[in-house]
Amino acid sequence: MGHRSSALAVRPDHEQMEQNVINEAALLESKTLRDSALERTDVLDRVKALSLLPDGMHVTTAMVAAYFQVGIKAIRSLVVDHREELEANGYRVLTGSELSSFKELSGIQSRTASLALFSRRAVLNVAMLLRDSEVARQVRTYLLDMEYLARTQPVDNPVHRDAASPSLDDRIDQRISHVLGKTVVPMFNALIETSSEHRQELIALRAGVQRIERRLQQHNARLQRLEGPRENRPLAGVMASMDAMNGREFEEHVAQLLRRDGCTAVVVRGGGGDRGVDITGRTPDGRHLAVQCKRFAPYVSVTSSHVQKFIGSAKVLYKADVALYVATCPFTRDAMNVAADGGVTPVDRSMLEAWSSGTELPALS
């Protein structure tokens, strides 16, 4: 009976802690919570650079779909379900003379009778509503991290700041994690060893506590990244800068990334006589390398025919051991399949952003 009382005494704390763990799904359900976070549009570029139209203020439906890596139909369906909320945050559809004026001022080329535009606030609004997108989920996580940080950070008052001021190590989430790992889990271990009647229940409770401990550690790691020195974070707008490059500048950028990661004999061959390969070189371990660079708009996709042409050039003409197809846009599903069958590594927009921000490309190691 004594063991039963000990186990049950822990349960209320276990349930309370699990309820207190920040749940990003709340943004999907609460318009009030979404409205409170709409000023933080900078999180869009923290997760993934958002390319804008030439007016520097808007994006199209296709560009929103490319950012969140979903189909255009998913964005249009979201607009149908939440049009009033999105319009309040900058979504609009241009037609007639208003559309003509916008085309003239922005330089955009479009023959459609209407054009849907999203402001950055509207894109952030989409991130808080879109369920089936990993990018949207990451945006929601960043928003909640920042909200948590704002609530838990002490007010920065120079008059009262001293050596005893709370630091990152003093945060409540770290203290709870420490107590769980050093006290509560060992307590469960001891109870499990000495109990037979309630062994399975205690094991389940211990697993729940360990799950909370891991989630708190992950949450704290995200906060550390948010608070870290700015020079250690990926530069916001890294993809926007690539979108502004011409073809040759983009090839040189990719060549520099290859050299940074230890590749040798890197030569940019882009031009009329490149025979379908823009860059050649050797990987750090000496394998022959061939690279194709495509600076497409973010709402365009590399197709299977593009990849098929590159396979012929890279594998037959250049006899490459490692073939990279680097693009500033997504790849179609068929293109990904063709690349896998042909031994080509597709480097899409999100992977290129990570590579440009310092992450090594696995195919080169």
pLDDT confidence bin for 208, thresholds 50/70/90: confident
| Percent of the chain scoring above 70 in pLDDT | 73
pLDDT at 226 over 70: no
pLDDT at 6 over 80: no
pLDDT confidence bin for 88, thresholds 50/70/90: very high
Supply the pLDDT for residue 41: 87
**pTM beyond cutoff 0.85:** no
User: What does the CA dihedral 328, 330, 332, 334 come to, rounded to 10 degrees?
Assistant: 70
> Which residue has better confidence, 220 or 279?
279
> Which residue has better confidence, 257 or 191?
257
Kindly state the DSSP code that residue 112 receives in the 8-state scheme: -
Q: What is the DSSP string of 235-264?
A: PTTHHHHHHTS-HHHHHHHHHHHHHHTT-E
pLDDT confidence bin for 224, thresholds 50/70/90: low
> Which residue has better confidence, 101 or 196?
101
- The overall longest dimension of the chain from CA atoms, in Å, is 84
pLDDT at 365 over 60: yes
* Cβ proximity of 280 and 289 under 8 Å: yes
Kindly state the DSSP code that residue 331 receives in the 8-state scheme: B
pLDDT confidence bin for 79, thresholds 50/70/90: very high
pLDDT at 234 over 70: no
Sign of the Cα torsion 242, 244, 249, 250 reads: positive
Supply the pLDDT for residue 281: 94
pLDDT confidence bin for 179, thresholds 50/70/90: low
Supply the pLDDT for residue 321: 94
Supply the pLDDT for residue 37: 83
φ/ψ of 272, rounded to 5, equals -65, -30
Rg over CA atoms, the chain = 26
Q: Find the range with the poorest average confidence among 22-36, 77-91, 238-252.
A: 22-36
pLDDT confidence bin for 21, thresholds 50/70/90: very low
Averaged pLDDT for residues 212-238: 56
pLDDT confidence bin for 274, thresholds 50/70/90: low
> Which residue has better confidence, 15 or 301?
301
Q: What is the DSSP string of 8-77?
A: HHHHHHHHHHHHHS--TTHHHH-HHHHHHHTT-TTHHHHHS-----TTSSEEEHHHHHHHHTS-HHHHHH
> What is the C-alpha separation between 182 and 173, in angstroms, rounded?
14
User: Helix or strand or coil: residue 332?
Assistant: coil
| Percent of the chain scoring above 90 in pLDDT | 33
Q: Whose structure tokens read 């559809």?
A: 93
Residue 324: strand pairing partners: 291, 345
Q: What is the mean pLDDT of the chain?
A: 78
Q: Whose structure tokens read 């080329």?
A: 109
Supply the pLDDT for residue 2: 44
**Closest by Cα among 165, 199, 171, 183 to 13:** 183
pLDDT digits (tens, 9 = 90+) for 283-333: 988 899 999 999 887 778 899 999 999 998 898 888 999 999 999 989 999
Residue 173 has a CB neighbour count (10 Å cut-off) of 18
The two beta strands, 288-294 and 279-282, are antiparallel
